[in-house]
Amino acid sequence: MDQIQTIVNNAITWCVSAGWNIIGAIIIYIVGRYLIGIVKKLTRNLLEKRKVEASVKTFLLSFINITLTILLVIAIAARLGVETTSFAALLASAGVAIGMAMSGNLNNLAGGLIILLLKPFKVGDFVEAQGQFGTVKAIQIFHTIITGTDNKEVYIPNGVLSSGSIINYSINPIRRMEWTVGVEYGEDFERVETVLMRIFSEEPRILKDPAPYVILKEMADSKVNIYVRGWVKNEDYYMIFEMNRRIYTVFNKEGIRFAFPQLTVHQG
């Protein structure tokens, strides 16, 4: 009976101790998350006050969040009775395995630093990368978030992004638009050129310098391809669709005939 009483007493003592440890761990978690939120808020305000680029801001906030979360996990483990020295020794002994498992993430971390240093793009730029088109929403510690034209968010690893081809459509203030207009053989090129130049001169968003121009690009199988170039500000680029409609409408009014594929068959 004495042995049973001793076992019961030890079990009760352990349960009380474990209960306090669990309660302490919960308190550490709640307080820790609250403090992490405060640190992130203060850091965000400081970066905004110093007018730090949005690219650097999102990267630093992501890094701070991950670092503080790891420290919080270690603090909770220590409160639950896990020896921090043993914990550190375990991490050290598993360092090779962890390094191999996280080699991709380390590559992404290095890629994120390269992006911030070389600045091939920044938050808010419209880019094409890894087969994706969209506006850069955030540059995080491991990934860059791009919002596509269909409003889908794409997460691209920084490693492949920093080492791959990137087209930045926002880096220069103006962009060139191009049209290829196919007209029938027999149409007067000078007349077509005059009509096109009139259409472009009447559009205030088409820049006068560099000036738009029209050339006869090629004489294809069933049409004459006329090539038109004009320059606009970045924010006006999508007026290209309006110009397509205007060219179509004006050509019909002027009686300029668009070409279409046709085949002449001679029967002997």
Q: Answer for the pair 55, 115: CB distance below 8 angstroms, yes or no.
A: yes
pLDDT number for residue 36? 87
Q: Please check the confidence at residue 71 and state whether its pLDDT lies above 90.
A: no
Higher pLDDT, 233 or 24: 233
Where does CATH 2.30.30.60 sit in the chain? 105-168
Q: Please check the confidence at residue 43 and state whether its pLDDT lies above 70.
A: yes
Report how far residue 229's alpha carbon sits from residue 176's, in angstroms, rounded to the nearest whole number: 7
Least confident interval from 95-104, 168-177, 244-253: 95-104
Q: Please check the confidence at residue 250 and state whether its pLDDT lies above 90.
A: yes
pLDDT number for residue 9? 59
Please state which CATH number belongs to domain 2-93.
1.10.287
pLDDT number for residue 195? 93
Where does CATH 1.10.287 sit in the chain? 2-93
pLDDT number for residue 60? 81
Please state which CATH number belongs to domain 174-254.
3.30.70.100
The model's pTM: 0.59
pLDDT number for residue 105? 74
pLDDT number for residue 83? 64
- Over the stretch 124-156, which tens digit does the pLDDT of each residue have? 899 999 889 899 998 888 889 999 888 999 999
Other Cβ atoms less than 10 A from the Cβ of 107: the count is: 17
Q: What is the dihedral of CA 94, 98, 101, 102, to 10 degrees?
A: -170
Mean pLDDT of the residues in the chain: 82
Crossing angle for the helix pair 84-93 and 54-79, nearest 10 degrees? 120
Least confident interval from 36-40, 48-52, 169-173: 48-52
pLDDT band at 24; cut points 50, 70, 90? confident
In CATH, what class is 105-168? Answer: mainly beta
pLDDT number for residue 28? 84
Where does CATH 3.30.70.100 sit in the chain? 174-254
Report the pLDDT averaged over residues 25-32: 85
